Amino acid sequence: MSAQTLAIGLLLYPDLTQLDLTGPFEVFARAPGAQVHLIWKTREPVVSDRGMAILPSTTFEACPKLDVLCVPGGPGQIALMEDNDTLAFIRRKSAEVNLLTSVCTGSLVLGAAGLLQGRKATCHWGSLSQLALLGAEPVGERVVRDGNLITGAGVTSGIDFALSVVAALYGDEIAQAIQLQMEYDPAPPFDCGSPRVASAEQVARASAQAAGFIAKRLKATQKAALRLSNSACRS
């Protein structure tokens, strides 16, 4: 693959979590010769779940051939799971890319498109188990690779994920140089950023706070799983 022609596409959609997209974008945009595209149905500004407006750089119709496709996560992922235009675009691009990728609950969108059957994948810890409904094997790790599929866990893992993608495409030296340029040297003030290290009480509180939304996401995942099952039966 020539770095001079490397095209990386990030799906941009309403109510996504902006760091799921902007973390990887910052890494990818520093890769030598890479062209990074922000893709949505129109070129109108898209507003994230926390109110940040982001401009798409291309549309589904005008999107060039891609080497990498990345689907970020966020609350808007629920609507995407039954958005036929978006799912069709993802399926179409999945057939041409060298790497199919996601961050956070973007992997659930890949699953809804029927692209995770029998494959290892990850997402945010609060929704990790839902991947199994879509035929995937959930793996509770920060970055998971299964062949040409690379998935990242929740939100901040998008930077780790993107550095892993750059290492896969360009080699470790380039990825390490980008990490140094960004001064990506995490030293969080608290050791509670994952269920693996947070206290049981902290995990319980966070789970309780998100329970209503996770139930809503679960219904969307179950509907997507049913559509996949019905489609398989028809074929």
Task: Give the number of other Cβ atoms within 10 Å of residue 96's Cβ.
Answer: 10
**From 104, 123, 192, 233, the catalytic residue:** 104
Helix (H) or strand (E) holding 7: strand 7-11
- Our answer to whether residue 104 is catalytic in this structure is yes
Which runs of consecutive H residues, i.e. helices, occur in the chain?
18-28, 77-80, 84-94, 106-112, 157-170, 172-181, 200-234
Q: How far is CA 184 from the centre of its chain?
A: 20
Task: Give the number of other Cβ atoms within 10 Å of residue 136's Cβ.
Answer: 27
Asked if residue 11 lies in contact with residue 69, where contact means CB atoms within 8 angstroms, the answer is: yes
Q: Residue type at 115? A: L
Phi-psi category of residue 123: left, alpha or beta, with phi > 0 → left and psi -120 to 50 → alpha? beta
What DSSP designation does 49 have?
T
For tokens 């049913």, the residue is 226
- Any idea which residues carry the catalytic annotation? 104
